[in-house]
Amino acid sequence: MGNPLEITDLVYKKNQKKIITNLDLTLKPGKIVALLGENGAGKTTLMRIISGVAKNYRGTVKVAGFTKEADRKGHLSFTDGLTGFANSTKISDIIKFYQILYQDFNLKQFEQLREFMNLKPDLRLSELSKGMKEKLVVALTFSRRVDLYLLDEPFSGIDAMARKKIIKSIILWKQEKSTILVSDHFVNEIAAVLDEVVIIKNKTVCMQKSTEAIRADNQSVEEFYESFYQREEDE
Amino acid sequence: MEFKDNIPIYLQIKQYLYRQIITGKLKPGKKIPSVRELAVQLTVNVNTVQRALQQMNFEGILYTKRGEGNFVTEDTTLLEKTKRELINAELDKFVQSMNSFGVSDEQILKSLTEYLKEERK
Amino acid sequence: MAEFSRLFNRFFKIKTRKLHIILFFQLIAALACAFFTYYEVTNWHIRKNPQNNVGLIPEWTLYFVILAFLVILFVFILTPLQSEKFNHSQTWRLAGISDSQFYLDNVLSTFVSFIYMLALEVVATVMLGFLSFLVDKDFQRGLHDFLMDLHPNFDYNVFWTVIGTIVLAILSCFFLYFVISFFNFASQSIIDFVPANVNGALVKILHLFIIFVLIWFFFKIQHIFVYKILLSVFNPANYGLAYSSDLPFAILSTTICNLILLGSNVFLFNHFYEASERK
């Protein structure tokens, strides 16, 4: 089996506008990696391409050694906004959906995560606050056993307590060999749990570096990240 | 436990564990929390904890029992040495900052004795 | 294959969820219609309508059957539109299954849930008929006379025409599904392709415009394809067949059109039609 993720020479255009150009990215097993970049840098698009729900791209995308979209989807778990459900859908119905659609969905694990996050199963989607929904999405994503987890801005717009809960759940429930790619435009809170940072700028990956190597240069991860966007403003 | 952002976290984890051992929160010959427990407790990456523990194993302050986990050494000389190192490091910081205030070594001694006398009252 | 049937089950469950409620309302509505035909309400007094000579239960059955046509038409149009929502939904498309299988699952489950709706209607009608038969003397007699008048003589020609018509109906059903998908996929792919310097409202208008152009173009092509190309190749007259073999020709041409549409839909779905993050 190959690396959790291997992307070579990825190009993606939409409406005749280049969104990603010549992007290469390899992630090794067992890592927690941040995908950093400004809003609109293409983080979500990249995750959607990896998951095979964005189409018409060029280049190769391998997940756990598989290039076919169906296999890729089977070996990764992507935080989906649950937009395919009506607002009146109960959490228990969503669980049923996941159980049926994903064979690797582990109900016991979900129940543990759900309790850890203090989510009641009889609630409906419309009754969830933003933080609760974010927690539910993360719980669902981590209840699958896969090689690659794609977390698309799981901390956007939620309070510090919920954030801490989600981070702790990531540490607790991550399997040894699986790799997590978590996108954010903000790195401070998660810096301590990261192995690596990947920075997207100018439609491609401009830097991939280990966080401890950054700190060994007496730099904080945040300073390091900001320096990339600083440079552009200076130019 | 808050970590400094610009110092490798595995070094800070080591410092944290030394302290725990010297202050007796982790006792000689006793098992320390598992890698994952420590990671959750400190909200840090499991790999980083692993790295810190590996180094401490290498230094001898911890030892591994296969399948059981990591234990604090019972080697008293090594523990003493570690304690001394920790004290020296703290003193280093103290003296350096005093020096930066323009306090001479002799004055440091004097001030410290006076300070301790005041406090002990 | 396991994935295929699991996804199918999930689609089927969700697509049939509302059908039972629709059937329930249909029963209530038919009963209400029957009630107000059978009785007359004047000045808050209810009395039997003197002009009406049909029993309440047969009346109910009759209204149910009339409403059934409307309801079936409604479901027939609604279900393929609903399935386009699934095609567009990221939540669903993340399922670990190939796009081709996903699309087939979606189309087949739409068809099966429509058949399920037909079956529900038939069962309900038979049950109401049976109820009428039990409680209503006139209905019993009427049914008896009707069955006596019926002379069941088996005619192969009629048999084949019925079978052929059923096959054609099924093919046409899929034709509708495929055409709706095709317009949806093709127009969205074009929208994703053209340079977007326009705002949201304009994109919507452009989208509609593209759909209309596609519809016009599509039927033009289909017309030429069926009447000029297919008919010249498969003209029944060429094979010494009579006029009555229009039905096989219709079946054949619809099958070919369906296959072409299915092929292009699967292609578009695999390579161009993206799932959306939004509702």
Backbone torsion region of residue C122, taken as left when φ is above 0, otherwise alpha when ψ lies between -120 and 50, otherwise beta? alpha
Cβ pair A73:C95 closer than 8 A: yes
Cβ pair B36:A172 closer than 8 A: yes
DSSP state for residue C198 in the 8-state scheme? S
Cβ pair C195:A15 closer than 8 A: yes
Q: Is the pLDDT confidence value at B121 over 70? A: no
Q: Hey, is the C-beta of C6 within 8 angstroms of any chain A C-beta?
A: yes
Task: Please state, in angstroms and rounded to a whole number, the distance separating the CA atoms of residues A117 and A168.
Answer: 10
Q: What is the per-residue pLDDT for A174?
A: 87
Q: Which long-range contacts (CB under 8 A, 24 or more apart) does B13-22 make?
A: B13/B38, B13/B42, B13/B44, B13/B48, B13/B49, B13/B52, B14/B52, B14/B55, B14/B56, B16/B42, B17/B52, B17/B56, B18/B61, B18/B82, B18/B86, B19/B86, B21/B61, B21/B72, B21/B79, B21/B82, B22/B79, B22/B82, B22/B83, B22/B86
Specify whether the CB–CB gap between A194 and A211 falls below 8 A. yes
Cβ pair A83:C9 closer than 8 A: no
Strand A32-36 relative to strand A196-201: parallel, antiparallel, unpaired? parallel
Provide the residue-wise pLDDT of chain A in tens; the chain has 235 residues.
689 999 999 999 988 889 999 999 999 999 999 999 988 889 999 999 999 999 999 999 999 999 999 999 999 999 998 999 989 999 999 999 999 899 999 999 899 888 888 888 889 999 998 888 888 999 999 999 999 999 999 887 677 887 888 888 888 888 889 999 999 887 888 888 999 999 999 999 999 999 999 999 999 999 999 888 776 555 5
Q: What is the per-residue pLDDT for C10?
A: 92
Q: What is the per-residue pLDDT for C217?
A: 86
ipTM score assigned to the predicted complex: 0.91
Phi, psi (deg, nearest 5) at residue A65:
90, -5
Residue B88 β-bridge partners: none
Q: Which of A26-40, C213-227, C246-260 has the highest mean pLDDT?
A: A26-40
Q: Which of A61-65, B26-30, C274-278 has the highest mean pLDDT?
A: A61-65
Give, in order, the Cα–Cα distances in Å from A227 to each of A35, A95, A234, C184. Answer: 16, 42, 10, 45
* Nearest-Cα residue of chain A relative to residue B36: A172
In CATH, what is the architecture of A5-234? Answer: 3-Layer(aba) Sandwich (3.40)
Cβ pair B10:A195 closer than 8 A: no
Average pLDDT over residues C237-251: 67
CA distance B89 to chain A (A): 19
Q: What is the per-residue pLDDT for A115?
A: 87
* Nearest-Cα residue of chain A relative to residue C99: A70
C173: CB partners within 8 A, 6+ apart: C76, C111, C114
The overall average pLDDT reported for chain C is 86
Q: How far separated are the first and last CA of chain C, in Å rounded? A: 29
CA distance A3 to chain C (A): 19
Cβ pair A101:C95 closer than 8 A: yes
The beta-carbon neighbor of A83 closest among C10, C91, C271 is: C91
Higher pLDDT, C196 or B67: B67
Closest CA to A46 of A31, A32, A33, A61: A61
Closest CA to A101 of C102, C88, C270: C102
Q: Hey, is the C-beta of C205 within 8 angstroms of any chain A C-beta?
A: no
Cβ pair C91:A69 closer than 8 A: no
Q: What is the per-residue pLDDT for A59?
A: 95
Cβ pair A101:C6 closer than 8 A: yes
Count of C-beta atoms within a 10 Å radius of residue B104? 10
Closest CA to A150 of A183, A117, A175: A183
Chain A neighbors of C276, CB-CB under 8 A? 83
Torsion of CA B82, B87, B92, B93, to 10 degrees: 110
Chain A neighbors of C91, CB-CB under 8 A? 80-85
Q: What is the per-residue pLDDT for C245?
A: 59
Chain C neighbors of A102, CB-CB under 8 A? 95-96
Which of helix, strand or coil describes residue B75? coil
Count of C-beta atoms within a 10 Å radius of residue C214? 17
The beta-carbon neighbor of A83 closest among C89, C96, C270 is: C89
Q: Which of A226-230, C8-12, C136-140 has the highest mean pLDDT?
A: C8-12
Q: What is the pLDDT of residues B86-96, one digit of tens each?
A: 899 889 999 99
Q: Is the pLDDT confidence value at B21 over 70? A: yes
In this complex, which chains have at least 3 CB pairs below 8 Å with chain C?
A: A
* Nearest-Cα residue of chain C relative to residue A54: C274
Chain C neighbors of A74, CB-CB under 8 A? 96
Task: Please state, in angstroms and rounded to a whole number, the distance separating the CA atoms of residues A73 and A52.
Answer: 7
Cβ pair A102:C275 closer than 8 A: no
DSSP state for residue C154 in the 8-state scheme? -
Cα Rg, chain A, nearest whole Å: 18
Cβ pair C99:A54 closer than 8 A: no
Chain A neighbors of C12, CB-CB under 8 A? none
Chain A neighbors of B44, CB-CB under 8 A? 171, 192-193
Q: What is the per-residue pLDDT for C24?
A: 95
| Residue C136 pLDDT class (50, 70, 90 cuts) | confident
Q: What is the pLDDT of residues C153-201, one digit of tens each?
A: 777 778 888 898 999 999 999 999 999 999 999 988 988 888 866 667 7
Structure tokens that stand for C153 in this block: 């003589």
Q: What is the per-residue pLDDT for A233?
A: 58
Domain ranges across chain A = 5-234
Phi, psi (deg, nearest 5) at residue A58:
-115, 155
Specify whether the CB–CB gap between C268 and A73 falls below 8 A. no
A27: CB partners within 8 A, 6+ apart: A3, A4, A5, A6, A33, A148, A179, A181, A196
Task: Please state, in angstroms and rounded to a whole number, the distance separating the CA atoms of residues A213 and C155.
Answer: 87
Spatial strand order in the sheet of A204-210:
A76-78, A148-152, A179-184, A32-36, A196-201, A204-210
| Residue C253 pLDDT class (50, 70, 90 cuts) | confident
Task: Please state, in angstroms and rounded to a whole number, the distance separating the CA atoms of residues C232 and C94.
Answer: 45
Interface of B with A in 49-108 (CB under 8 A): 51
Q: Is the pLDDT confidence value at B120 over 60? A: yes
Interface of C with A in 130-189 (CB under 8 A): none
Q: What is the per-residue pLDDT for C279?
A: 66
pTM value is 0.87
Q: Is the pLDDT confidence value at B18 over 70? A: yes
Specify whether the CB–CB gap between A75 and A29 falls below 8 A. no
Q: Hey, is the C-beta of C95 within 8 angstroms of any chain A C-beta?
A: yes
Strand A5-14 relative to strand A32-36: parallel, antiparallel, unpaired? unpaired
HSE of A171, CA atoms in CB hemisphere, 13 A = 27
Closest CA to C111 of C52, C174, C182, C61: C174
Average pLDDT over residues C218-226: 83
The beta-carbon neighbor of C92 closest among A44, A69, A84 is: A84
The beta-carbon neighbor of C6 closest among A17, A81, A100 is: A100
The beta-carbon neighbor of A192 closest among B6, B9, B51 is: B9
Cβ pair A83:C98 closer than 8 A: no
Cβ pair A171:B9 closer than 8 A: no
C275: CB partners within 8 A, 6+ apart: A48, A53, A54, C87, C88, C89, C90, C92, C93, C94
Count of C-beta atoms within a 10 Å radius of residue A69? 21
Average pLDDT over residues B91-103: 91
Q: Is the pLDDT confidence value at C206 over 90? A: no
Specify whether the CB–CB gap between A36 and A200 falls below 8 A. yes
| Residue C214 pLDDT class (50, 70, 90 cuts) | confident
Average pLDDT over residues C65-90: 93
| Interface residue ranges in chain A relative to chain C, Cβ cutoff 8 Å | 14-17, 44, 48, 51, 53-56, 68-71, 73-74, 78, 80-85, 97, 100-103
Task: Please state, in angstroms and rounded to a whole number, the distance separating the CA atoms of residues C139 and C133.
Answer: 6
Q: Hey, is the C-beta of B43 within 8 angstroms of any chain A C-beta?
A: yes
Q: What is the per-residue pLDDT for C246?
A: 76
Angle between helices A160-173 and A107-116 (to 10 degrees): 150
